[in-house]
Structure 1
Amino acid sequence: MELNPRGAVKSESPLAMTRARIAQSASPQEARVVVCEKAFLGHLVLRGNAGDAAFRAGVERALGLALPLEMGPLSLDEARGVSLQWMSPDEWLLIVPQGQEFAAEAALRGQLTGHYAVMNASGGQTLLELSGPCVRELLMKCTPYDVHPRHFPVGKGVTSVFAKSSAVIRRVAEARWELVIRRSFADYLFSWILDAAEEFGVYVASGASARPASHGAARELATEAR
């Protein structure tokens, strides 16, 4: 079913109100951690039998990505903005660009047969992109999972405890990470991240502008989170 509203229906991300309260107070050129919500991406949960060759082949035909068969390695096509991540022995998280959820689901249903499930979970999750030279130090303050490059290379993703909650942690480039978080914890985790990153200098960007390793400060929510 196509879940994207058409016309004049207003959509708001899980962090719409939180971001509206942030007061930037320093130059973005100084930041060593940049935080950006990648709102309205398509999040799909895929269930099936990884031991079934027909299931694996069907997923690859539909998505153009190989099905990951173990925790850790991501199937990632940055050019298309599509990723597929192992979540459990019979569950995967598919993320696609905004507006492509229905097409991705239809492609999977057109290629898969037998016992499987595809569920659109876009409204229940959001993605935070963290970039800059001090992101690893920030993550070390937030999760007990080992994020050292020897243990967490580019292209790896895991689900772990994060700031007394949980998050899907993904390293998509040398100095760029992603957090997939639940809508219900989005405000809390965003505030925690701003507070934890304040010592490095943090800048909250919007949309694609998060890529540069800029610097700034978002102190209002950091103060509230203490």
Structure 2
Amino acid sequence: MTVDAVEEPFRTQLTVRLRNGHALLGVDLPGPCRFTSGNGVDILWMGPDEYLVLAEPGRQAELETVLRNEGAAAVTDVSAQRVTVRLTGEHARDVLAHGCAIDLDPAVSPPGTCVQTLLARTGIVLMVRDEGCTILVRQSFANYFAAWLADASLEYVS
């Protein structure tokens, strides 16, 4: 199989508003349209003073406390808002190109790229990783996204 999609259920997802600072949870803050990783978390740039912190399941309370102690202006648990899907395989970017206007050529969107965009008319957050992509899609669009992904992947599955 040259495309593999795996749901990563129950991921901790915290929206953080930050007035100033250069790091969260010991990880440098990413610049626009980027994400950084370390210490078991991914930090995604969502806007000029807004970040999304992703971590393994069940870390909401622990991370909220640490973030507030680090001076975050606001921390909101949005873990139930989005479904997280990891797409890997040699044709992962080709599948996404069927419905996404973002140029996923590695020279244009290298690992560490993070954008909010539309995929087949569905709002997503797209993270480009070394081994593929992570897609965050709103819970209410999860079934539509899964059906679209299955259809778009057909030509790449052996």
Question: What TM-score range do you get, normalising by the shorter chain?
Answer: over 0.9
The corresponding residue for 2:15 is: 45
CA shift for structure 1 position 48: 2.2
Amino acid at match of 1:121: V
* Pairing of 1:7-22 with structure 2 (within 5 A): none
* Structure 2 match to 1:194: 150
Query: Which of these residues, 80, 88, 92, is aligned with residue 131 of structure 1?
Result: 88
Task: Give the aligned residue type for 2:10.
Answer: F
Which residue number in structure 2 is paired with residue 64 of structure 1? 26
Cα deviation for residue 81 of structure 1 reads 3.4
Q: How far apart in 2 are the matches of 1:176 and 1:81? A: 18
**Normalized per residue, which structure has more strand?**
2
Compare the two structures and name the one with the higher helix fraction. 1
Q: In the alignment, which of 49, 55, 59 is matched to residue 100 of structure 1?
A: 59
> Are the aligned partners of 2:33 and 2:46 in contact in 1 as well (CA < 8 Å)?
no
Give the 3-state SS of the residue equivalent to 1:119 in structure 2: strand
Give unmatched runs, 5+ long, in structure 1: 1-30, 202-214, 216-226
> 1:88 deviation in Å?
0.8
Q: Does 1:34 align with 2:20?
A: no
- Please report how far the alpha carbon of residue 145 of structure 1 lies from its aligned counterpart in structure 2 after TM superposition: 0.8
State the aligned residue count. Answer: 158
1:182 to 113, 138, 155: 138
Cα deviation, residue 73, structure 1: 2.3
* CA deviation profile, 1:191-225 (whole Å, cap 9, x unmatched): 10111001101xxxxxxxxxxxxx6xxxxxxxxxx
SS at match of 1:122: coil
Q: Which has the larger radius of gyration?
A: 1
Aligned Cα root-mean-square deviation (Å): 1.4
What's the TM-score once normalised by structure 1's chain length? 0.67
Unaligned runs of 5+ in 2: none
TM-score (norm 2): 0.94
One-letter amino acid of the structure 2 residue matched with residue 200 of structure 1: Y
Distance 1:144 1:171 in 2: 14
Structure 2 distance, partners of 1:181, 1:163, is 11
Greater RCO (Cα-Cα under 8 Å, separation 6 or more): 1
- Give the counterpart letter for 1:159 in structure 2: Q
SS class of match (2:99): coil
Is 1:111 matched up with 2:74? no
Give, as a single letter, the amino acid of the residue that structure 2 aligns with 1:132. Answer: G
Runs of 4+ in 1 over 2 A off after TM superposition: none
> SS where residue 102 of structure 1 aligns?
helix
Provide Cα deviations, 1:76-124, integer angstroms capped at 9, x if missing partner: 12xx4310011011211100111111111110112216xx110000011
